[in-house]
Structure 1
Amino acid sequence: MDVDGVFNAVCHGITFTELTGCAGEQWLNDSCVHVASLRVATEAMMQHWRQATVVDVVYSIYTQLADEEIRNKYLGTKGHVFTKVHANRIVCCPTYIDVSFPHWCDIIFDMERRSIWKYDPFHRESFLDELESISAQVYMEMMNPELKMETRTFYGWCQQDGHSCGVLVVH
């Protein structure tokens, strides 16, 4: 995305500077990605995107907490989106990884279709493998083990530069 550019999020545009405005000297930090994702999710719910009535966004800092006990305290599993699986729910999990370099990717749970979508803006297998690992070790641990989900890879929106991964993940 060009720094003067705008991407269309359903029925409104979000400028690059709006996304990076509170990131300071970093590219999109956890809070920027989370707030922007919430905005896009709200618009998607109003449009009944893919006939979903609920689009949740998991705060990306969750996967960065190393200690499982701390993660569980942070999460508050009683009200977490994975404790009750509803057919009309989509859960977006923007995910910050550091395989070769710091990078934003996404894991999206489509409960109606029982699908887990992995998305890496660079389409690199090593990054997609990391997403698979995070999905299995973190998110699937919170779901009913009897629930069978099919993992798929989204290959749209290929990143052509070194700084637009967060924007593509939010979109």
Structure 2
Amino acid sequence: MDAFELLVEAHRPAMKAVLAKLVQLLEAHNVRYVIGGANALSLYVRPRMTVDVDAFVDPTRKADIDKLLAAEFEVVKIGGFHSKFKHADVEIDILYAGASAEDFALANARDAVILGTKLKAPSPEALLWLYLVSDQEQNFVDALNLLRSNPGLDRGLVRRQLQRHQPDLLPKLEKMLHTAQQAVPSYDESRAKR
């Protein structure tokens, strides 16, 4: 068992089965997807706990996917670009791609194994871009950890994609790159600043 699997087993044991079932359903119906969020992040950095499974999927199959998942999981909500399902204590966020970052993630999917399930995951560059478009503070922290843990991450590729598709995010990328180069304060140092 890897560190992420141990963490999930201790706090959200149903997540392993939910992820496996979701992937099996998507693959059985030939749906293009990537598993994102903290599940994907666990491939590249020291894992953190999560309460859900995030999947970016091909938007051309939205109606079919919503119907398929509604037959297998509890429906929390069906939205235009985001549907949410639930099984046991695990939420499943289905994000219908269509924005540049999401399309890039689907186009640059790679084979991976998370919680014992073979699946498609975003490249670290795609995951960084997905975090850049987010306004959630946790995603900024996750992006910093991704940058610090992956010196081989192709920052130039991300920069070029942003220049082409979302130039308004370039300052956020530069701030993130600068912050990632700073020394990480120890626990005692961070407590002393409070």
Shorter-chain TM band: 0.3 to 0.5
Q: TM-score, normalised by structure 2?
A: 0.31
